[in-house]
Amino acid sequence: MAEAFRSVSAPDDDELTLLELADRLLNRGVVLSGEATISVAGVDLIYLGLNVVLTAVENLAGSKRGGDDAAAARDHGG
């Protein structure tokens, strides 16, 4: 695998935003649980928030691990 999560758009846009992440992770909307359906549908933040600049994921993750470690972890199995 090549470097993880490099963006191929504008150079100043090479950090994955929380919004992009949330978009990927939430887009199924509906998930299953043992007895009941847990719904995370109706979460409107995906596009409504696009005009807001959000913290890059690596910054959010910073307290747990560095960006380089994250990339290394992903490259590991590549």
Partner 1 sequence: MPSDLVYVYAILPAAVPVTVAGIDGRPLRFVHDDGLAAAVSDVPAAEFEEEPLNARVRDLSWLGPRAVAHETVNAELWSHSPASLPLAFGTVFRDDAGVRTLLQSQAVALQRQLTAVAGRAEWVVALHRAAAPSADALAQANEALSSLRAQIATSAPGRAHLLRRRLAELERETLRRLDAEAADALIGLLAGVADDVFREPLPADAVERPLARLSVLVAQSAEGALQQRLEQARTHWPEPTYQLQATGPWPPYRFGGLERGDG
Q: What string marks each residue from 21 to 50 as x (binds partner 1 by CB under 8 A) or -?
A: xxxxxxxxxxxxxxxxxxxx-xxxxxxxxx
- Whole-angstrom Cα distance, residue 45 to residue 30? 15
72 binds partner 1 (CB under 8 A): no
Do 68 and 5 form a contact (C-beta atoms < 8 A)? no
67 binds partner 1 (CB under 8 A): no
Do 60 and 19 form a contact (C-beta atoms < 8 A)? no
The one-character DSSP state at 15 is S
Binding site for partner 1 (CB under 8 A): 1-2, 4-5, 7-10, 13, 16, 18, 20-40, 42-51, 54-55, 57, 60-61, 64-65, 70, 73-78
